Amino acid sequence: MPVFDRTLPEDLSPALRRAFVGPDRDAFVQARDRLNGAGYGAGIGRAFTSAAPRVAAHAGPDEAIALAGDASRLAIKARPRVAAAYLDLCPVIALKLDDATRFRQWRGVIGRVLAQSPAAAGVLVAGGQTLLDRLGLDPFAAWVETGLRLSGGENRLALAYFRLETPESRRILARHAGDVTFPALESGLRAFYTALWGHAPALREAGTETAQGPVRRTTFSNGLILMPSAFAGFRGQEAQLYRAAIAHVGAHHAHGGARFPVGQLKPMQIAVISLIEDARVETLAMRDMPGLLRLWAPFHTARPDGLATAQALFAGLARGLIDPDFCPAHGWVRKGVEMFQAAAPRLEDPAISREIGNILGNDLGQIRVQFDPLSYVVQPAYRDDNLGLWDLPDDPESAAAPQSFDIDTADARQSELTDAPQDQKHEQTSPDQIEPVRLMAADPEAGRKLISLPEYDYHAGIERDDWVQVTAHDPVSGAPGFWEALRARHDTTITRLQTVIAASQAGTRRRLKRQAEGEALDLDATLDAAIAVRANRQPDPNVYARIQPPARSIAVHLILDISQSTADSAGPGLSILDMERDAAGILAGTMCGLGDDLAMSAFSSCGRHDVRVIPVKAFGAPLTEATGAALAGLRPAYSTRIGAALRFAADSLEQVSRHRRFVLLVTDGAPSDIDVSDPEYLVADARRAVQRMRARGIDALCVSLGQDEGQRQTEIFGRKSCLRISDVATLPGKLSAFYLRMTR
């Protein structure tokens, strides 16, 4: 389409005349003229003139005219060719969305990326249609906002995210696309594996990439199973595919043998031997559990008359070895099936896989079948990558598996790696694999991963799953004699609380009469029984009375903020953290006297990847000298990511069977962290965490220390659930009093 003369608006094409009338036509011409006169090149002006009427037809003339400003900014900040590509894309997006508001929202997403990372805007424009088709507008916007927040303004990180070059960007994309991912299925997969094979697996998510690209298949080595974050292309089948994959690895563990030596084998022979070994262990597993066929067979989709490529022949052989009704056309596949069936009497011997595989591999060489080991991917998708079958030479990637034990979970403790029965060799690990865990425990700056938690982004209006990583750090013992020193410092407060506890218990006890057993006789019941005996009737044996203790069923997780600000002074020679320690110790004694269950943890944070938790006391554990030493050993450091601490404490309460459950936070400041510049972000997240907790039946309470300036706790917890203490020196007495008032 020609570039129109600026001075003759009447020369507009019929399409433009229909799209723009009256003032809109003048605005369009002015926008076009600004583009043509800006020196970006005639291509952008032509692209705008072509795109505008088509955008106007679906999103209105205002949105069409606004494209000129978008194109100008893209041409300046990115490149003119990016602006031209954007204008070519806009009519497609407008047609898909068919709504002015939604199209404006899409333009806003591109604009935010351009403002933060111009190079990433070009990447997003290039893949915009594909991403929008997969996600839809709102998830697309949320995925982009996550990338912008994750990159933190660093262009290199933004480019890697929007190019889908990082495992995290692909996981987040899969989550927003509605794909079922490994984290959502992990606990179920553990239970499924245990039900099949009788022991728990050492199961992890494969978070790294190979030189060939993202991890697409399960792998196992030294008892550790690594599974892909997601299986692309299996929408609606993900759960079954993951179960099929972990059942297949279990078959290798149950029926496999020693690793095969590579020797002088060629890559194609290794692939064929691995395929036969896969079929061998599956056949043995199906002898014991025939139902596994229904799990594995749906993923064998090879055609009997497929092309004679290596990939097609391998897929055909895999199906022929598991599907007795499969009738392959190719002679090589038929030969493989016949040899495998002939070896059926000695399938327990792994050597037959090498025997059959060597012959079939040589046959492929004779018929000149081309095999590219770099592009080869094991089929079907549930089968592993076969690396665990071979005694491969050392290479730089071989050290990756032991490092996976550094990313430990609360359920996979070191004892699982060292105390496994001798008949379960796949759960054993060599000493060099266990050593990193021991080193972590010895290093005070290192921690073991406990759990990944979500975090709420109020900008995007979504909770980002697995966004925050909580790490556990062993407590450091402080000075001995904590409880004696506490009593000496706060004798009056402790005595007063003990009096209050005794009075409350006496007031709430009930005397139960006519009991089958008890510490005293019930006078009325005893007289009735004596009368019955004299009247020759059977007396009622329930002649005792007993005292029923107070009907309390309460559990509390106390979390102490030990961020760097708690080192500030709270009085002569005392810090805020000193007051927190004393208050926690007094509260622990108060709850022990009431019979309530208490857990205590201290927390600080150093970015979202390291929310540090120090366990001081667990639920059900008694108050001991070790508890006092752990309190005395707390040291201030880092920042205050309150939302993550609340979620961690709430999750721990899910395992406690008490009628009322509380999370009690003691903190001296508003939420903050080193990777967050927006002061509202962590406040909104903490507020969301409190809302989620209360929806689960867990109450959230807060004791806020210091002056009112800069405090946000009442916004997070609500006024009735938050106690403000300006004079921090009064905290030890007021904390227990606040607890007693809130739990009446």
**Token pair of 712, please?**
């946000």
**Angle between helices 155-162 and 118-126 in degrees, nearest 10:** 10
Q: Is 426 within 8 Å of 258 (Cβ atoms)?
A: no
3-class SS string, 614-648: EEEECCCCCCCHHHHHHHHCCCCCCEECHHHHHHH
- Mean pLDDT is lowest, of 445-449, 674-678, 688-692, for 445-449
Amino acid at residue number 106 = W
pLDDT at 576: 92
pTM across the whole model: 0.55
pLDDT at 243: 93
What angle is formed at CA 676 by the lines to CA 672 and CA 681, rounded to 5 degrees? 75
Q: Is 563 within 8 Å of 636 (Cβ atoms)?
A: yes
**Token pair of 134, please?**
């997969």
Q: Is the sign of the CA dihedral 185, 186, 188, 189 positive or negative? A: positive
pLDDT above 90 covers a percentage of the chain that reads: 31
pLDDT above 90 for 289: yes
pLDDT above 90 for 173: no
For residue 380, whether the previous peptide bond is cis, meaning omega lies within 30 degrees of 0, is: yes
**Token pair of 628, please?**
């006092």
User: How many other C-beta atoms are found inside a 10 Å radius of the C-beta of residue 499?
Assistant: 10
Query: CA 224 to CA 401: how far, in whole Å?
Result: 8
The more confident residue out of 250 and 40 is 250
pLDDT at 510: 67
pLDDT above 80 for 507: no
Q: Is 376 within 8 Å of 310 (Cβ atoms)?
A: yes
How long is the chain? 744
pLDDT tens-digit profile of 426-446? 333 322 332 232 223 334 455
Q: Is 554 within 8 Å of 740 (Cβ atoms)?
A: no
All residues at 6 or more sequence positions from 146 whose CB lies less than 8 Å from its CB, including other chains: 172, 457, 460, 464
pLDDT at 699: 92
Q: Domains of the chain by range and CATH?
A: 9-176 (no CATH), 182-404 (no CATH), 510-548 (no CATH), 554-742 (3.40.50.410)
Q: Where are the alpha helices (DSSP H) in 60-181?
A: 61-77, 80-97, 100-116, 118-126, 128-135, 137-151, 155-162, 167-176
All residues at 6 or more sequence positions from 156 whose CB lies less than 8 Å from its CB, including other chains: none
Q: Is 330 within 8 Å of 313 (Cβ atoms)?
A: yes
Question: Which residues is 717 bridged to in the sheet?
Answer: none
pLDDT above 50 for 578: yes
pLDDT at 299: 92
In the sheet that 544-548 helps form, which strands lie side by side, from edge to edge? 510-515, 544-548, 520-521
Mean pLDDT of the 623-638 span: 92
pLDDT band at residue 165 using 50, 70 and 90 as cut-offs: confident
- Mean pLDDT is lowest, of 361-365, 412-416, 576-580, for 412-416
The more confident residue out of 441 and 738 is 738
**Token pair of 732, please?**
């030890």
pLDDT at 231: 81
